[in-house]
Chain A
Amino acid sequence: MNKSLSILTNIHDWLFSIMPEGVASIVEMVLIGVAYLGFFAIAGLFLVLLERRVAAWFQLRIGPNRVGYLGLLQTMADALKLVSKELTGTIKADKFLYNLAPYFVIVSSLMALAVFPFTKEIQAFDINIGVFFLIAISSIGVIGILIGGWASNNKFALIGAMRSGVQTISYELSIGLSLLTMILITGSLQLSEIVEVQKSGWLIVQGHVPAIIAFMIYMIAGTAETNRAPFDMVEAESELGAGFHTEYSGMKFAYFFLAEFINMFIIAAIATTIFFGAWLSPFGITESIPWLGVFWFMGKALILVFLMMWFRWTFPRLRVDQLLTLEWKYLLPINLVNILIMALIVWLNLTIKF
């Protein structure tokens, strides 16, 4: 056991030695919750900054580079500004639901964060239906968007929310089926076990052709799931003002904004876990240093996040009918055939294993 990882178990043992068992486990849960919340905030701010810099580079601009060294404090300053702003609201809004919606969105993405195996030991909640849990949680976020759009009593917000509903319900199917394709290889929904299976080759290598097709479908559906361009009809600026968060200001708006970026990270993290072997290093080059798993996990997830940013700054926005055509006429049939092929490959033992 490596030193840095044993620190975590040491803290665990120390907590249980100085307190009664019930209190210690509650304290431990609170500590882990705070740690994840901190990670959530920092990762969200960092991803916003990354998005802005990457967008600038795609458009041959420079991007924010004034606040702090290389503009690293830019999003921190933005967050401070948003905290200090007034929380406005419409008079005829449904106050309770209007205030509830941002928390719905942010809590659902925070819950999804809990199950990822950042490295062998760092996984808050190793539930045995991990993938199922992830799919279920990631579709709860859309309820927050629907509530927000409905409760703000604004036509643009309502249209944006309804579009979001249409979009998420359709693409949820593709996400589920493409992940199911990979579950055929692992035979388990538990994320730690999926990682175990990948020790003999990442799933995208093990499943070769159908796995790559499944990955492509997953990335398309995942981009749609996070409501990012080219699937950003939910907040299509040129059509709907700001879509479902038109009426939100200050920190409530910031919650939606942060949740969007964390959702992007979650989609990338699911893809990392299912397709690219989570914290496993390529060819096992750093197997002797377990804490480097965090580095590998983050690196892979960030590459996939970059891919989604690349999509966003390349492709034009789809119309609603095009969106539904893409899902129901192309992704879904391809996905179903793909599952059959994968089942055949697993049955005939044609997977590539090292």
Chain B
Amino acid sequence: MSYFSDIYKGIKTLLTGMSVTGKYFLNSRKGAITQQYPDNRATLKMFDRFRGEVIMPHDENNEHACTGCQKCEIACPNGTIEIIWDRGIDEDTGKKKKKIDQFVYHLSMCTMCALCIDVCPTDAIIWGQNFENSVYDRTKLTRVLNEPGSKVRAGIED
């Protein structure tokens, strides 16, 4: 008698499947996952884990968190990050102290592996959400992440 139960089960599962897709069909107006990209540029929000490019956030005093420890430069598998550093005098202690002059980031070589961001002890660099990275001149892909005149935030090394 498995013949008839097979037919019953077959029809039942087919109807279950059709009800699932039918629900999708009815809800497609609200729940469309398609992004109409160039039109919704203003409202488009990328997801949190999206890896667009490496950026270095600066606060309102034009201060960043990079101490120039060069861990990211060592961690990078393909030489994307180049830190040009300098020695300056620490005002508090009067001792010589390492500071970054230019944090150079070659976006054209970056594979978005996130090793630099994982390794950064002070969270100075994070993922940016920008993905429109095409330019007409590839030298524009070499970026200096720290803004001119910025300095390291006090107390970040403690």
A315 touches B17 (CB 8 A): yes
Q: Assuming the A-B contacts A315-B14, A330-B7, are A60 and B33 also in contact, with contact meaning beta carbons closer than 8 angstroms in the complex?
A: yes
* Candidates B18, B20, B21, B32; contact of A62 at CB < 8 Å: B32
Task: Produce 1/0 per residue, A52-67, CB < 8 A to B.
Answer: 0010111111100000
Within 8 A of B (CB), among A220-271: none
The residue in chain B whose Cβ has the minimal distance to the Cβ of A310 is B18
Q: Assuming the A-B contacts A310-B18, A314-B17, A314-B18, are A60 and B36 also in contact, with contact meaning beta carbons closer than 8 angstroms in the complex?
A: no
The residue in chain A whose Cβ has the minimal distance to the Cβ of B30 is A60
Residues of B contacting A330 with CB < 8 Å? 7
Q: Assuming the A-B contacts A314-B17, A314-B18, A315-B14, are A62 and B25 also in contact, with contact meaning beta carbons closer than 8 angstroms in the complex?
A: no
* Candidates B14, B21, B27, B36; contact of A313 at CB < 8 Å: B21
Q: B31 within 8 Å of A by Cβ?
A: yes
Distance of A317 Cα from B28 Cα, bound (Å): 24
Distance of A178 Cα from B1 Cα, bound (Å): 24
Distance of A330 Cα from B6 Cα, bound (Å): 10
Interface of B is mostly: helix
Distance of A330 Cα from B10 Cα, bound (Å): 11
The residue in chain A whose Cβ has the minimal distance to the Cβ of B10 is A330
A58 touches B36 (CB 8 A): no
A60 touches B7 (CB 8 A): no
A57 touches B7 (CB 8 A): no
* Candidates B7, B24, B33, B34; contact of A58 at CB < 8 Å: B24
Distance of A314 Cα from B32 Cα, bound (Å): 18
Q: Assuming the A-B contacts A310-B21, A310-B22, are A61 and B34 also in contact, with contact meaning beta carbons closer than 8 angstroms in the complex?
A: yes
B18 touches A60 (CB 8 A): no
Distance of A7 Cα from B21 Cα, bound (Å): 45
**Taking the nearest CB of chain A, how far is it from the CB of B5, in angstroms?**
13
* Candidates A59, A62, A311, A334; contact of B24 at CB < 8 Å: A59
* Candidates A60, A315, A334; contact of B31 at CB < 8 Å: A60
Residues of A contacting B32 with CB < 8 Å? 60-62
B25 touches A57 (CB 8 A): yes
Residues of A contacting B22 with CB < 8 Å? 310
B34 touches A62 (CB 8 A): yes
Within 8 A of A (CB), among B9-53: 14, 17-18, 20-22, 24-25, 27-28, 31-34, 36
B21 touches A60 (CB 8 A): no
**Taking the nearest CB of chain A, how far is it from the CB of B155, in angstroms?**
49
Residues of A contacting B27 with CB < 8 Å? 60
A314 touches B21 (CB 8 A): yes
The residue in chain B whose Cβ has the minimal distance to the Cβ of A333 is B3
Residues of A contacting B21 with CB < 8 Å? 58, 310, 313-314
Distance of A315 Cα from B21 Cα, bound (Å): 10
Residues of B contacting A314 with CB < 8 Å? 14, 17-18, 20-21
**Taking the nearest CB of chain B, how far is it from the CB of A290, in angstroms?**
34
Give B contacts to A, CB under 8 Å. Answer: 7, 14, 17-18, 20-22, 24-25, 27-28, 31-34, 36
Give A contacts to B, CB under 8 Å. Answer: 54, 56-62, 310-311, 313-315, 330, 334
Listed A/B pairs (28) with beta-carbon separation below 8 Å = A54-B25, A56-B28, A57-B25, A57-B28, A58-B21, A58-B24, A59-B24, A60-B24, A60-B27, A60-B28, A60-B31, A60-B32, A60-B33, A61-B32, A61-B33, A62-B32, A62-B36, A310-B21, A310-B22, A310-B25, A311-B18, A313-B21, A314-B14, A314-B17, A314-B20, A314-B21, A315-B14, A315-B17
Question: Can you name 15 extra interface pairs (CB under 8 A) apart from A61-B32, A62-B36?
Answer: A57-B24, A57-B25, A57-B28, A58-B24, A58-B25, A60-B24, A60-B27, A60-B33, A62-B32, A310-B22, A310-B25, A311-B18, A314-B21, A315-B17, A334-B7
